[in-house]
Amino acid sequence: MPPSIDSPSVDSMASLDLPPFRPRFPWWGADLQTIAIRLGPFESNLSPHISERICFCMADRSGDILVGMLDRPAEPQANRPLVILVHGITGCENSSHVLNGARHLLALGYRVLRLNLRGCGASRPHCREHYHIGRTADFRRILSQLPDDLTDNGIAVVGYSMGGAMLLKYLGEEGSFSPLRAAATICAPLDLAAGGNALGRGFNRVYTRMFLATLKKKALAKALRFPGVARADVIAAARDLYDFDNEFTAPVHGFRGTEDYWARASAKPWLRSVKVPHLVLNALNDPFVPAASLPGAADVSKFVRLEQPRDGGHVGFASGRVPGELTFLPERVFAFFAAPG
């Protein structure tokens, strides 16, 4: 029987002996690692497991409703907590890394909530507003609305990329008041200025164009609601994430500009305030997250375990010969979650 998720103690986190990540042919280098997960055959139908919609009303008078997909295992195991999976930028409940994690968990008998952040995926038709990394109140509101029958064995959360940065900032803000038993952030851009600048250079401009194509489409629709604040023509002309955040994210959400948004929404300053056992995993060759911007031991609380393998790319860590063989991340995260307290 697979282990249940317990809250790891500080001692168990320090002594957790896990094998290092080792890439295999043909996934050499940061960019191949990064695109590997996007090439796999990830079917959104998770049968024989059962999936159902679950909705959360926001409390900010926007009328927005966030929508998630609750997956129940075909063979549930007792004493398993609910595990919430939070997608990255331009993602949703059906992002490949989210489906990859969900399948792994469901096979072990865990219930899984795949969350769509504000304005994303299935939440989009029900939202007038949009997410940003600093919008931790949305996550706080979701946790407060979870039914008791889902949380009777506790809650654990995995945040990928942007979703991980939001999760970490939330945990820092909450300190010891968070109801979570354990958490993990995967390849989160903890320093937004460093990540944003990195995406504007070299081959990363290819990724930036991909992100902007999706971000602009959503933002242009929202710009109609903010005349005089967000200009559609300027948003359409944005060449990089700095321009986009300066013309849309910052003014629409009350920041003075890109620098103000990146500084105030960055999660890195909150690492010392985390009071929940938390795995923070970043590859040193992540093309979106410069290694020099990653935290060290002096930057984190005793509840945070840093893992910074040399290879892995951005939410990649492909170690099999075919794109769909991506077991390292889910195995690593849930080995950490299952460490004895």
Give the mean model confidence (pLDDT) for residues 148-168.
96
The pTM assigned to this predicted structure is 0.91
**Confidence (pLDDT) at 27:** 77
Q: What's the average model confidence in pLDDT over 162-168? A: 96
Is the pLDDT at 138 greater than 70? The verdict is: yes
In this predicted model, what pLDDT tens digit does every residue of 286-333 receive, in sequence order?
999 999 999 999 999 999 999 999 999 999 888 766 655 678 888 888
Distance in angstroms (rounded) separating the CA atoms of residues 133 and 169? 8
Share the mean pLDDT of the chain.
Answer: 88
SS3 label, residue 130: coil
User: What's the average model confidence in pLDDT over 59-69?
Assistant: 93
Q: Are 175 and 182 in contact (CB under 8 A)?
A: no
What percentage of the chain has pLDDT greater than the value 90? 58
List pLDDT tens digits, range 211-238: 898 899 888 887 777 776 778 888 899 9
pLDDT of residue 10: 46
Give residue for tokens 């077991």. Answer: 327
**pLDDT for the residue numbered 324:** 54
Indicate whether 25 pLDDT > 80.
no
Q: Nearest CA to 248 among 223, 212, 266?
A: 223
For 74-95, the pLDDT digits (tens) are 999 998 899 999 999 889 999 9
Name the residue type at position 32. L
Q: Which of helix, strand or coil describes residue 248?
A: helix
Q: How confident is the model at residue 32 (pLDDT cuts 50, 70, 90)?
A: confident
pLDDT of residue 199: 82
Q: Coil, strand, or helix at residue 73?
A: coil
Residue 12 pLDDT greater than 60, yes or no: no
Q: What percent of the chain is predicted at pLDDT more than 70?
A: 91
Confidence band for 41, pLDDT divided at 50, 70 and 90:
low
pLDDT value of residue 15: 47
Q: Is residue 145's pLDDT more than 70?
A: yes
**pLDDT value of residue 8:** 52
pLDDT tens for each residue of 243-295: 999 999 999 899 999 999 999 999 999 999 999 999 999 999 999 999 999 99
Q: Using 50, 70 and 90 to split pLDDT, how confident is the model at 20?
A: confident
Q: Note the pLDDT of residue 206.
A: 85
In the chain, which segments carry CATH 3.40.50.1820? 10-191+267-335
- Rg (C-alpha) for the chain, rounded Å, is 19
CA angle at 68 for the pair 153 and 167, rounded to the nearest 5°:
70
pLDDT of amino acid 31: 82
Residue 5 has pLDDT above 60, yes or no: no
Rounded-to-integer distance, Cα 65 and Cα 85, Å: 18
CATH superfamily to which 10-191+267-335 belongs: Alpha/Beta hydrolase fold, catalytic domain (3.40.50.1820)
Identify the band that residue 141 occupies on the pLDDT scale cut at 50, 70 and 90.
Answer: very high
